[in-house]
Structure 1
């Protein structure tokens, strides 16, 4: 009993420690400027206001471009990355798990090696490649880059799910007259869907939060994504902390909503590989 209470208490402290920055961000976004810059910190806003939200939603961060424009750019890049990553990773994982070919083991090892390379080391070579492809200063350049970052993890993880599906199920479907496409869609896909959800969260967060490549590969300000737009609030002499916290709160909401929509399948996807049978 004492051990359980101690573990629960420790877990609660860790949860509070992790949640406090999020609470402080939301609380600060609701404070007027006089409370934000007050010498005495106030954990709870005494006069909550939405002025910072109105400022970023109705004003222009740069001439002719609003916060919503940056938001839509990020949504387009993130959703495209998730869809393409899931489709390509599922097909690649099926090929790796079901077929035997030369250098198959080397391919799997390469997937792990790619994850060890620091992203900063790839900025220059990827920049040159994007220029040669004629994709510089376009949103597809970001989708292609994020796709390359998320695919190794997605393929490696989905391979385990595909390998765990008994071949007998696919053979039974073939005997019943199902084509390869029907077997893939009606038998294999529903069984690996939890793993696909888990990998899609990784792909979404990667594309949603990335800053370095978004700042390097895109030059026109109206094509910036939200992480780049956030830098506009930081000046050389001062920082607009109210709008920063309001924008950060709005920036976090899509990730939370996406997580809540897929959390059930994500949990089953993460623990499915631990159960054999």
Structure 2
């Protein structure tokens, strides 16, 4: 659809193979001077900042938290409370969050989405990282402690290199969750300065005259960043997910 001419898209019966290739929509979307291009590029920027930033912050907090649950006997009740927050329907949190962010003047701000996505990703990241810490032999850490290493040094120089595949897998899955999130982005954003790609795609379909070719082109471009990351880090993703699946 993204490379089909408008005539091919409206022909009955549908032409599955375009009669001619039309790449003008992709050129249009990368043209800052064009209205559609500006909407797409700003939404792409916002999605990268919110998804990447939320993933980075969530992992930074989740790794020491997961290590505490796995190795320092932190209360499991607290972990289940974390998980309970993502079991509730998202609409449950909308009104209190909207009022809180409104009181602080943070509505229609990517900082708001960053905070919400961090809260959304943190329980998932903690749980997944904990399962990988659990299967790591504790004797490796004991050996480092005997040599006089501190907990911080052991975590940074001994444990983290061993669970690197799990970190990559957690980062990828967290990034995808934030990248595809629609509901909170729809509620808390209202203009180009903060809208993300899922909202931009919906906006392209909301006009009086819908260009399905442009919508298809935006959809193709929106899938490229996570697809490229998945291809490059596929080996780490598979090994990271499997590492925490069994114990012993």
Q: Runs ≥4 in structure 1, deviation > 4 angstroms?
A: none
Name 1:151's counterpart in structure 2: 122
Structure 2 unpaired stretches of 5+: none
Name 1:71's counterpart in structure 2: 44
1:98 matches 2:71: yes
Q: For 1:215-226, list aligned pairs within 5 A.
A: 215-226=186-197
Name 1:265's counterpart in structure 2: 236
Counterpart-to-counterpart distance in 2, 1:162 and 1:105:
15
The size of the alignment, in residue pairs, is 246
Query: Is 2:3–2:18's contact at 8 Å kept on the other side of the alignment?
Result: yes
Counterpart secondary structure, 2:36:
strand
Deviation at 1:108, TM superposition (A): 2.4
Counterpart secondary structure, 2:229:
helix
Higher relative helix content: 1
Deviations 1:88-136 (A, max 9, x none): 11111011111134xx131122233223211122211221222234422
Deviation at 1:32, TM superposition (A): 0.7
Name 2:59's counterpart in structure 1: 86
Deviation at 1:66, TM superposition (A): 4.1
Counterpart secondary structure, 2:12:
coil
1:245 matches 2:222: no
Name 1:31's counterpart in structure 2: 4
Name 1:208's counterpart in structure 2: 179
RMSD: 1.8
Q: How does the TM-score come out when normalised to structure 2? A: 0.91
Deviations 1:74-97 (A, max 9, x none): 111111011111111111101111
Q: How does the TM-score come out when normalised to structure 1? A: 0.82
Query: Is 2:109–2:193's contact at 8 Å kept on the other side of the alignment?
Result: no
- Report which stretch shifted further, 208-217 or 89-98: 208-217
Structure 1 unpaired stretches of 5+: 1-27
